């Protein structure tokens, strides 16, 4: 199934996927959800590695490490570098990815307790 990075990197999405796997669901559905979670985890690893490279491109460095300010945030090289980072970041979030596994139906997970926010975060996974 296809989705975008912005849809799968959210902490709410990660939490909701984990919660789905802790619920009592049929074995076939559990296998599918485990496959989906594994594919999402792989995309997250790639995203995290790429994120660091993008940050290094636009932010001040302290040797090999990103230079952080007193609040723990990064320090951009310049205002233009910050603007260029935001542009590249937003483009990256719209990258389409293919996730192994099948979408689930609402009836597949009707007995699973998810918050509205979690349901919205998983909208790419749930067939209408």
**Cα(54)–Cα(86) distance, integer angstroms:** 10
pLDDT at 31: 93
- pLDDT by 10s per residue, the chain, length 128: 999 999 999 899 999 998 888 888 899 999 999 999 999 999 999 999 889 999 999 999 988 888 888 888 899 999 999 999 999 999 999 999 999 999 999 889 888 888 899 999 999 999 87
Cβ-contact 5, 47 below 8 angstroms: yes
pLDDT at 124: 94
Q: Calculate the CA dihedral of residues 87, 90, 94, 97 and round it to 10 degrees.
A: 100
**Cα(43)–Cα(57) distance, integer angstroms:** 21
pLDDT at 88: 93
Which among 6, 1, 3, 2 is positioned nearest to 89, based on CA atoms?
Answer: 6
pLDDT, one tens digit per residue, over 71-105 is 888 999 999 999 999 999 999 999 999 999 999 99
pLDDT at 68: 86
**What are the φ and ψ backbone dihedral angles of 114, each rounded to 5 degrees?**
-130, 145
């Amino acid at each position: 199934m296809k989705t975008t990075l912005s849809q799968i990197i959210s902490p709410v999405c990660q939490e909701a996927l984990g919660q789905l796997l802790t619920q009592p669901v049929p074995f076939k559905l559990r296998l599918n959800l485990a496959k989906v979670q594994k594919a999402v985890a792989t995309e997250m690893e790639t995203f995290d590695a790429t994120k660091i490279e993008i940050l290094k491109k636009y932010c001040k460095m302290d040797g090999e490490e990103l230079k952080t300010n007193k609040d723990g945030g990064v320090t951009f090289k310049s205002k233009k570098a910050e603007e260029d980072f935001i542009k590249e970041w937003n483009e990256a979030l719209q990258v389409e990815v293919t996730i192994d596994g099948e979408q689930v139906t609402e009836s597949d997970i009707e007995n699973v307790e998810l918050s509205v926010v979690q349901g919205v975060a998983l909208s790419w996974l749930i067939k209408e």
